[in-house]
Homo-oligomer: A and B are copies of this chain.
Amino acid sequence: MKLTILGCYSATPRVLTNPTAQVLEIKNHMFLIDCGEGTQVQLRKHKIKFNRIKHIFISHLHGDHFFGLAGLISTFRLLGRETDLHIFGPKGIKEIITLQMKLADSWTNYKLVFHELTSEDSKLIYDDEDLEVYTIPLKHRVYTNGFLFKEKEGDRKLDINAVETHKINIAYYRKLKQGFDVKNDEGKLIKNSVVTKPGTKPMSYAFCSDTAFHESIVTVIKNTDVLYHESTFLEQHEKLADPTKHSTAKQAATIAKMAQVKTLILGHYSTRYDNLNDFKTEAQTIFKNVKLAKDGKVFEFI
């Protein structure tokens, strides 16, 4: 599982800081999460192949999270894309993108599939052989979802020596990988655990931005491997966090602790702060394993 931060600052794009966008590489998928202005340039800068992006997840319709979407869709068209593009985002996202295409009289050649979100509860919105994606209802000034990406339990691995010793026919290997007990050449039932080992441990990633401190997400993201939680402010500005429905570094760490995640990544910093290390120091008073998002940073998790 690999996470590339294209932008992790709040509010407005600047010369050296980009609004929210990130690419999650998981089980051979490349998911784009949020798409602030300038995201397509960031994708180019980090040499991410446009065609590998087939699903875009938009948390909410504030500009710093989606003003790059219309341009990206339009660039895909200009480059002759043929692959379908799925867009998950709040109700209204279809209307705004369609209106822009109508006014420009520029329609995509490829299929654009909108999955508009309206539920206030966590929902399964994507499901394939390898993974599931759930919404994480957040608490912000407008309707907002985070997203939980969960790899499925993979196949078990054959212990080739044990399989041969127990004389199991090759025709049963698939069933073994799927976890079933099988009969061997002599008609004897062989316990699965005797001839297989656990497969790769499934990973999970939760993206939570933008949001105020919101305890009810804890049940949804419980035991997640990696949590990206916004921390627009430091505790010294907690009074700003409440009315703007953002979080402090300490609040993000509190959620990480309650949900017993393994790693917390902080991001969505207000540009008022010069020293990002203050976010880490503050969060670590509550939760140990804290990392700081930075534009262009790549996190690999195994």
Contact = CB atoms under 8 A, between A and B. Distances in A.
Given A37-B68, A44-B15, A45-B15, A74 B78 contact: no
A17 B90 CA distance: 32
B62 A38 contact: no
B61 A104 contact: yes
Contact of A71 (B40, B63, B103): B63
Nearest to A69: B67
Given A40-B12, A70-B67, A96 B105 contact: no
Nearest to A12: B75
Interface size of A as a range: 35 or more
Nearest to A63: B74
Given A13-B40, A13-B71, A37-B68, A92 B103 contact: yes
A9 B219 CA distance: 49
A217 to B, nearest CB: 21
Interface in A1-46: 11-15, 37-38, 40-41, 44-45
Contact of A105 (B70, B104, B142): B142
Nearest to A38: B38
Contacts of A175: none
Nearest to A13: B41
Contacts of A79: 12
A197 interface: no
Contacts of A40: 12-13, 37
A44 B92 contact: no
Contacts of A45: 15
A160 to B, nearest CB: 49
Interface string A80-109: 000000000010110110011001111000
Nearest to A39: B37
A141 interface: yes
Contacts of A142: 103-105
A81 B15 CA distance: 20
A243 to B, nearest CB: 14
Interface of A: 11-15, 37-38, 40-41, 44-45, 61-63, 67-68, 70-71, 74-75, 78-79, 90, 92-93, 95-96, 99-100, 103-106, 141-142
